[in-house]
Amino acid sequence: MEEVPLNNVKDDLDDLFADETEAEAGAPRDTDKWKVLIVDDEPGVHDATILSLMDVVFDDKELTFLQACSGLEAKALIEANPDCCIILLDVVMETDDAGLQVVRHIRDVLKNGLVRIILRTGQPGQAPEDKVIMQYEINDYKSKNDLTKQKLFTAIISALRDYRNLLTIDGTKRGLEQIIEAFPSLFEVQSMDDFISGILTQLSSLLRLDESSIYHLDSSFLAGSSSRNIIIAKGTGAYGQHSGRLASEVLEPGEFEMLLRAEAEKKSIFAGNSCAVYFKNKTSSYNMIYINSHRQLSEIDRNMVEIFCNNVSMAFENIEKHKIQESMKQAKDIQISMLPVNFSDITPHGIDLYTFMQPAREVGGDLYDFFFIDGTHLCFTIGDVTDKGVPAALFMAVTKTLLRAVAKLNTNPGEILRIANGDLCKDNEKSMFVTVFIGIIDTVTGRCSYGNAGHNPPYIINGSGEVKAFEPADSPPLGIMEDIEYQSGELTFSRGDTIFLFTDGVTEAMDIADQLFDEGRLEAVLSENRGKASKAIVENVVSRLLEFTTSAVQSDDITILCLNWKG
């Protein structure tokens, strides 16, 4: 093997190119050229190859040459230059199969499947074409006798074309893989701030598909447009310091123009090194990402950015939903914690009380409550706020608190309802209202006074199993009209009598054929369960209700309060 000082050859070539390019304003960087590695232990082959190919321009890019004189050098050079496009590879160098070892190294160790390898041998007997092309992942096989300029040119152009196409496919594949990898992490993010940072990080790494290209950190920012002003939500690179500022102040007029166009046309705009990506967020809101890259954005980049942003829209919606779900869960917990469940605390007072509540959604508009006003008087209420969801839940919370507060100062149910109604009517723009039944039982004597504001009448079940409904309410629900008088009624419990309070979610529960559960079915279950403990009665009503509705969707909150006076 002959020693050829590699650097000398390189210097010579640099001089050669320098002469040609001197007139140009700025010589293109090596990264803008196709890298061709010549591996041969004969210096003459190097020179001949370079002379044949130095004028080649493919896709507006020239060739640049790397040179190695041994298999060992070749391995080191290809490792340092993974973006090398073509290797013109000699077979017999320091060993008879040095070139073939280089192929193995590139494909199996470096896992570089992109570089096109053209095997050139002066001794075909050492590496028969059929055998080699079958056993080694090479792309072409040439005899050194074929080293005519024309044939080499054709082989190189064809290899470059393959390489370029492979690069496109590979780039697309890598980009897609990255998008797929990026999303689980983006979906997990729970704060909008982290999410935006995540998008920008992923996007800038996505645009570095061509890893060998040397360019500075891309600058990008995500902007939201809430009013007419486009405000930078978060930026990277040159825009890193501009969060919260107006995009019109930060960008050059031409760049800002692009953002405005993207906004007006509701689509992403690509021009040269920049792009303004538009993506819809939800029905009315949208976001834009502005990217200023230090290189021309390619077709692959565009496709990747578009795919990425489509997915971002989905993730945005997801995070919004997640936020709502989270807060609904919290609201549900708060609401449930407001409702008393200390049933055993009141059993020593001769009261067997049990409740059930199942909102149709996360939060509901039903309420119940029970508490002692003094040592012997237990107040119990049930209520149903119009509609469901958050507004109903808020109204429910206000009502429950208000009733408890008023009941601590008054022992007359009608009076309690009158005062609560007055308060609820104030500033009730949404015309929310709540039906309420309130009772106060003397746990010693069984005497019970009650008031009803538009609530469906409860049932009294006596010891013999007779189920009797209260008279319908003669006053409207709370919250509708001020200055309404609410009457108090009175009854006396016999030992073992049970009062069963419920909301219309029970009687208006529907089966799959839209049949109502209705009073009839409820009365039947109550009659069957006479004399049982409150808990058993409630559980039996609920299980009968479930049997009835089966798979039908629950459309209204269901609430039950059952009180048995043992005396």
Partner 1 sequence: MEVIIDKKDGLDVVSISGRLDASNAAVFDEKMKGILSQNPGKVIVSLKGLDYVSSAGLRVFLAAVKEIKKTGGKLVFAQPTEPVFKVLKMSSLDTILQIYNSMEEAVSGL
Residues that bind partner 1 (CB under 8 A): 360, 384-388, 430-433, 435, 453-457, 472-477, 480-481, 504, 508, 555-556
Nearest distance from C-beta of residue 369 to partner 1, angstroms: 19
Cβ-proximal residues to 434 (8 Å cutoff; 6+ apart), any chain: 365, 367, 383, 384, 385, 386, 395, 396, 399, 424, 453, 477, 478, 479
Please spell the DSSP secondary structure of 257-276, one letter per residue. HHHHHHHHHTS-EEETTEEE
Burial of 383 (0-12, 13-18, 19+ CB in 10 A): buried
Nearest distance from C-beta of residue 211 to partner 1, angstroms: 53
Nearest distance from C-beta of residue 113 to partner 1, angstroms: 58
**From CA 75, how far away is CA 102, in angstroms rounded?**
6
Measured from the CB atom, is 116 or 388 closer to partner 1? 388
Nearest distance from C-beta of residue 544 to partner 1, angstroms: 21
**From CA 265, how far away is CA 201, in angstroms rounded?**
26
**From CA 288, how far away is CA 274, in angstroms rounded?**
13
Give me the amino acid identity at 492: T
Burial of 368 (0-12, 13-18, 19+ CB in 10 A): buried
Give, rounded to a whole angstrom, the gap between the first and last alpha carbons of the chain: 113
Measured from the CB atom, is 474 or 528 closer to partner 1? 474
Nearest distance from C-beta of residue 478 to partner 1, angstroms: 11
Q: How far is CA 379 from the centre of its chain?
A: 47
Measured from the CB atom, is 175 or 359 closer to partner 1? 359
Measured from the CB atom, is 201 or 554 closer to partner 1? 554
Nearest distance from C-beta of residue 427 to partner 1, angstroms: 13
Nearest distance from C-beta of residue 511 to partner 1, angstroms: 14
**From CA 197, how far away is CA 186, in angstroms rounded?**
10
Secondary structure element (H or E) that encloses residue 321, with its range: helix 299-338
**From CA 517, how far away is CA 236, in angstroms rounded?**
61
Q: How far is CA 269 from the centre of its chain?
A: 25
454 torsion bin: left (phi>0), alpha (psi -120 to 50), beta (else): left
List the helix and strand counts (H, then E) for the chain: 16, 21
Measured from the CB atom, is 45 or 396 closer to partner 1? 396
Token pair, residue 126, equals 């050492």
Measured from the CB atom, is 398 or 473 closer to partner 1? 473
Residue 460 in contact with residue 562, Cβ under 8 Å?
no
**From CA 137, how far away is CA 106, in angstroms rounded?**
10
Residue 100 in contact with residue 123, Cβ under 8 Å?
no
Measured from the CB atom, is 393 or 453 closer to partner 1? 453
Cβ-proximal residues to 151 (8 Å cutoff; 6+ apart), any chain: 142
Q: If we measure between CA atoms, which residue out of 366, 334, 345, 341 comes closest to residue 355?
A: 341
Nearest distance from C-beta of residue 353 to partner 1, angstroms: 25
Token pair, residue 201, equals 């990080």
The tally of CA atoms less than 13 A away on the side-chain side of residue 134 is 5
Measured from the CB atom, is 218 or 384 closer to partner 1? 384
Measured from the CB atom, is 62 or 504 closer to partner 1? 504
Nearest distance from C-beta of residue 489 to partner 1, angstroms: 14
Measured from the CB atom, is 218 or 556 closer to partner 1? 556
Nearest distance from C-beta of residue 399 to partner 1, angstroms: 14
Nearest distance from C-beta of residue 515 to partner 1, angstroms: 12
Nearest distance from C-beta of residue 453 to partner 1, angstroms: 8
Nearest distance from C-beta of residue 229 to partner 1, angstroms: 30
Measured from the CB atom, is 291 or 434 closer to partner 1? 434
Beta bridge partners, 180, equal none
Measured from the CB atom, is 94 or 508 closer to partner 1? 508
**From CA 517, how far away is CA 530, in angstroms rounded?**
20
Burial of 119 (0-12, 13-18, 19+ CB in 10 A): buried
Nearest distance from C-beta of residue 259 to partner 1, angstroms: 35
Measured from the CB atom, is 83 or 423 closer to partner 1? 423
Q: How far is CA 16 from the centre of its chain?
A: 56
Nearest distance from C-beta of residue 479 to partner 1, angstroms: 9
**From CA 188, how far away is CA 309, in angstroms rounded?**
17
Measured from the CB atom, is 15 or 514 closer to partner 1? 514
Measured from the CB atom, is 78 or 367 closer to partner 1? 367
